[in-house]
Amino acid sequence: MLIDSQWVEASDGGWNDVRNPGTGEVIDRVPLATLEDAERAVEAAQRGKLAMGKCPAHERSAILVRIANAMEANKEALSNLLAQENGKPIRQTREEIAASIRIFQGFAEEAKRILGRTVPMDAVPGQERHLAITIRQPLGVVAAIVPFNYPVELYAHKAAPALASGNAVITKPPSNCPLTLLRLAELMEEAGLPRAAHQVITGPGALIGDFLARSPGIQLVTVTGSTPVGIRISELAAQHLKRVHLELGGNDATIICADADLEKAAEAVILGRLARGNGQICCAVKRILVESTVYDQFADLLTDKAKALKLGDQMEEDTDVGPLTSEAAAEQVEALIKDAVKAGATLRVGGGRNGTFVEPTVLTNVPLQAELFCEETFGPVAPLVAFETIDEAIGIANDSPYGLQAAVFTKDISRAFDMAYRLEAGGVIINWSSALRVESLPFGGIKMTGHGREGLHDTIDEMTEQKVIFIHDALSYFDPG
C-alpha cells in the first residue's frame, strides 16, 4: 500500500489474498492495514495537503493529464487486471478504464476553471466604497471510500476532482478487488504528484473506514456504498462536523408506457441490468413497471433477449455476465429469487446458481412486497410488475426509501417531462436505461440514497470552500460630487 509516497507493508505483517471471484484462484495479496497504518497515512496527508495547496492550477492540470496518458498507455493491462479481480466481463472493464481516463482528462481542464466572483457591494446602500470578491480553496484532505462494483471509475470520480482542486487524498479501495487501484496509484506517483499527496490503504473496511470518518485530520469523506455504511460514516464524521458526500443504495424504477418502443426498452433493460456489471450497479434497472396492455409482449421480448446472454468466464470476449463478487453475494441473490417465486412470481428464465455465477433472470407477476422488488438486489435479476395508470406507476416507483435514478419509456414528450418532475430521484432518463452515468452530468440521489453530486463541475464545488475577501474603502467611484 502507498503511504507518504512509499510502498509499505502492514505494520503487523498482515496480508489479504485477492481472488478471482469466478475461479477462486489467488491473483495476488495485499497488506492488511492496521489502525497504526491508517494513522500514518493521515499524518502524511497533512504534509500532502500543504504541498497540494501550493501547487498552482496549471501544474495540477498537467499532472492529471499525465495520469490520463499513463492510463491510456496501460489501458489493456488495467482492463485485464480489473476483470480478473472484479468479475465484470473484459469488454465492460475496458469501458470502465476508458471512462476513467476521460474523467481524469476532464478534471485536468476543470483544475483551470475554479472560479470566484466579484460581489457588487454598491447593491447595498452605504456599502458603495467597498470591494468584495470570493475565491474557492481546497478543503485539505479528502478520504475516498471506494466500492467493488466500479472501483476504478468511482475512484476517478473522487480522486481526480480532489487533486484538481488542490486537496490531498486518502483512498480505501474495496477489500476484494484493490489491485487495479494499486497499479493506478503507481502510475499516479510516476506522473509527478507532490510527496504524500496521495495515500492508498488496503485493509478491513469497517476498521479503516471508521477511522477515516472520525479522524480530525480528514475534511471530507466521500463514500459510494450501502446505506448502512453511509449512516455509520455520517455518525462518526459528525464528531468533527466534517463534510460527507454519500452515494448509497438505490432501487431504481423503470416505467414502460404502452406507447413506448418496446424493442428499445427491452434492450435498455438488458444493458442496464442483466448484461452490465453482472447486475451489481447502484443505478441499474431494478424495478420494471410495464403498462398492462403491453405487459405480456414486453415480458416475451425481454425473456428472449435474456436467453441469448452468455454467462461465463469474465476473461472471454463474448461473455455478457460474469461471476458476482462472492459466493455469499450469489447465495443471497438466489435466495431472493426463490422467495419471490414462493410469494407468487413467475420465473420466465434463469434463477439458477453455480458458485458465484447467477443466471440472468426474468421474473413476472412479482408481488410488490417481495424483498427482491422492494429492496435493492445486487445481481442479474429483472422483476416485472404491471400497472394500469400513470399515477399508479408513479406511486409504486416513489414507494421506496431510495431515490437515485429512474427511467421512463414513452413517445409522448409532455408525459415524459410530467413523469420526470413527479419521480423522486436524483436523475430521470427518458427512453433509455437508468444505468446511465456520463461524467459531465451531476450524479447523485435523494432520500436514503444520500446527498451531494459527482460530475465534472459539481464535485469541484463539493471539495472546495468558498472564502470572501472584503476590502474596506477600496473605491471612491461612487462618492457624490
Which DSSP symbol is given to 261? -
| pLDDT tens digits for range 241-274 | 999 999 999 999 999 999 999 999 999 999 999 9
Set out the domains of the chain in order of their start, with CATH numbers. 2-248+449-468 (3.40.605.10), 253-430 (3.40.309.10)
CB-side neighbour CA atoms (13 Å) of 26: 6
Instruction: Using DSSP bridges, classify how beta strands 6-7 and 15-19 pair: parallel, antiparallel or unpaired.
Output: unpaired
C-alpha 14/C-alpha 466 separation (Å) is: 42
Interacting residues of 108 by C-beta distance below 8 A, sequence separation 6+: 61, 62, 64, 65, 68, 164
Instruction: Output the pLDDT for position 480.
Output: 86
316 is annotated as an active-site residue: no
Instruction: Output the pLDDT for position 75.
Output: 99
| pLDDT tens digits for range 173-183 | 999 999 999 99
Interacting residues of 414 by C-beta distance below 8 A, sequence separation 6+: none
Burial of 52 per CB tally in 10 Å (0-12, 13-18, 19+): buried
Residue 142 φ then ψ, to 5°: -110, 125
The catalytic residue among 257, 282, 283, 374 is: 282
Give every residue of the chain whose pLDDT is below 70, as ranges.
481
374 is annotated as an active-site residue: no
What global pTM score does this model have? 0.97
The catalytic residue among 189, 247, 376, 454 is: 247
Provide the strand spans (E) within 305-455. 346-349, 353-354, 357-358, 361-364, 381-387, 402-403, 405-409, 427-430, 446-447, 450-451
DSSP letters spanning 75-95: HHHHHHHHHHHH---HHHHHH
Instruction: Output the pLDDT for position 457.
Output: 87
